[in-house]
Structure 1
Amino acid sequence: METLSIKVMNEIQQAAQAIVRADALLIGASNGLSIAEGYHVFANNEMFRCQFGDFQQQYGIRNVIEGCFFHYPTENVRTEFLQCLVQHWVKEYRPSQVMKDLLAVVNHRDYFILTSNADTHLELSGFDAEKVFEVEGTFEDLLEHRPLKDKSCQANEFLRRYHNRNVVIFELGIGRYNRLIKQPLMQLANSEPHAIYITLNLASELYIPDAIVHKSIGLAGDIAVTLQELKNELYQNGTYSHV
């Protein structure tokens, strides 16, 4: 693991202090979090070719997203692809170190999660399903033709409960131009007087608007490394008890 710079370590310390003071965490997660785990819905990588090589050879699909929405010759073929996806990415999934570190960072604090990730890895790693809102549904929803489970009421109740309180908005791997989750989170950070906005992403995707830069912490780099450093900071200084 590369040694983090003093500047980054200071930012990690600031982020840890903000989390310690927080009454709750509002977490936003997108593709970058999945990539940190080793799952990439847009990649034509070795994992994709190993798991879906037959579909790639026969239909030319290049990644999981294409596979989910490809116009197959029959509905049965589409079902076969989705069954394969659910088998590899959901049923065979075991919590990664990334998810274990995220769960450790949250610790006992109340939280709510907004995510565009469809893999249900958050729930499978121990997060409460009632506190995770997959805003675009899940892979299993696609397979079973289930409607989107709208948890807007739960999200709004969480926001009402912590209005005007110390809330950390904790953003994981959301692209700089994302309007589905990132934009509302940035707007919330601007409107909530005691909110702190912490965003983890690759340097090229890290974005904090000028309006909230004074109440924001940007942690650039590999999310897996950053989460581990943040967890270590929280536990090594004695603030958190080891679990």
Structure 2
Amino acid sequence: MFLKKKTTAFTKDYSEQIEKLKQEIDTAEAIVVGAGAGISTSAGMDYGGERFEKYFSDFRKKYGITDMYSGGFYPYDTLEEYWAWWSRHILINRYEASIGKPFKDLLEILKGKDYFVLTTNVDHQFQLAGFDKKRLFYTQGDYGLWQCSRPCHDKTYDNEAAVRQMAEEQKDMKIPMKLIPKCPVCGTPMTMNLRCDMTFVQDEGWYKASDRYKEFLQRNRGLYILFLELGVGANTPGIIKYPFWQMTWKEPKAVYACINYGEAFCPQEIENRAVCINADIGQILEKIADQKNN
């Protein structure tokens, strides 16, 4: 359909683009937010560097792991090691993480608007910031949920109490064998409810959120919709980026906006209805939120 040639739509002085985006937010009849890892990174939840070294230096020294993302895919020899990694990872990124300011600023910006959030993030930041759960669709899972690794059934399980116990009792990068979670139905070891292969469980909550997202899009067809993309990279463009481009192209009143440091672009076919800002997401959202309150 298009996408053969990328085109950027920003200047070095992006103050004009910020003002244009603010106007689009103010006048839009509905806003669909598509959020990727970039907004969490902007909030300080970096998976590498000093933050990784602070919490996982022992895993780096033993296994050569260099960041939290790759550590989740490492082929540990035992489940005791696997869950030592994951319990620590979940604890710092889900249960002990503070609310990122970009999320709070975004909520302030959307106040009074008819909005919906589609996200590939799994860190629960939107709900921590106070977003309405019924306006959220976490497509790729949640750090706070486990599932059967087989999987023998389509149900997920909250893991906070078990994660905290694992993190507290682990020694030498291993948890006690007795803490390895097992499926209550078939006895198979549990695993993370994260979309990384064909075993990902889409539970009842996932389907309800999917239906609410579809209903939101259907209800707002033909209206002045702003598709606001925040920090979506190239890993899964088919979930947010490409659909946003296509829906903007099909809807004559729709506008596409993108804030993404180093990856702010759009197809030429929608350039006249696009706002692309190549800058830190948190800085831009803070400016817009401040302008709204002044």
Note whether the superposition's TM-score is higher than 0.5.
yes
Quote the offset at 1:176 in angstroms: 5.8
After TM superposition, the structure 1 = structure 2 runs for residues 75-224 of structure 1, keeping only pairs within 5 Å, are: 75-142=79-146, 145=191, 146=193, 147-148=201-202, 149-150=206-207, 151-175=209-233, 178-202=237-261, 204-224=262-282
d(CA) in 2 for partners of 1:115 and 1:108?
Answer: 21
Instruction: Confirm or deny that 1:35 pairs with 2:11.
Output: no
Extract unaligned runs of 5+ from structure 1: 237-243
Question: Partner letter of residue 175 of structure 1?
Answer: G
Query: 1:119, CA displacement in angstroms?
Result: 0.8
CA displacement at 1:28 relative to structure 2: 0.6
For residues 90-138 of structure 1, the C-alpha deviation after alignment (integer angstroms, 9 at most, x for no partner) is: 1112212211111111112121111111111111111122222222112
Given that 2:44 and 2:100 are in contact with CA atoms closer than 8 Å, whether structure 1 keeps it comes out as no
CA 1:211–1:176 in structure 2 vs 1: closer, same or farther (change >3 Å)?
Answer: farther
Q: Give the Cα separation in 2 of the matches to 1:6 and 1:180.
A: 29
TM-score (norm 1): 0.87
Q: Is this contact kept in 1: 2:37–2:120, CA < 8 A? A: yes
Which runs of 5 or more residues in structure 2 are unaligned?
1-10, 148-158, 160-190, 194-200
User: Contact 2:40–2:100 (CA<8 Å) still a contact in 1?
Assistant: no
The question of whether the paired residues in 2 share the 8 Å contact of 1:168 and 1:198 is answered with: yes
Cα distance in 1 for partners of 2:210, 2:229 equals 18
Q: Which moved more, 1:159-168 or 1:227-236?
A: 227-236
Letter in 1 for 2:228: F
**Aligned residue identity for 1:52:** F
Structure 1 runs of 4+ aligned residues shifted over 6 Å read none
CA-CA distance at 1:15 after TM superposition:
1.0
Report if aligned partners of 1:22, 1:167 keep a CA contact under 8 Å in 2. Answer: yes
Q: TM-score, normalised by structure 2?
A: 0.73
Question: What is the DSSP-based 3-state SS (H/G/I as helix, E as strand, rest coil) of the residue aligned with 2:256?
Answer: strand
- In structure 1, what residue type is equivalent to 2:238? R
Cα deviation for residue 62 of structure 1 reads 1.6
Higher-Rg member (1/2): 2
How far does residue 7 in structure 1 lie from its aligned partner after superposition? 4.5
The equivalent residue for 1:55 is: 59
Question: Secondary structure of the equivalent of 2:123?
Answer: coil
> For the residues of structure 2 that align with 1:110 and 1:97, how far apart are their CA atoms?
21
Kindly provide the amino acid, as one letter, of the partner of residue 37 in structure 1: A
Report the AA paired with residue 13 of structure 1.
E
Taking the aligned partners of 1:121 and 1:91, their CA distance within structure 2 comes to: 10
Q: Matched residues in 2 for 1:232 and 1:205: separation? A: 25
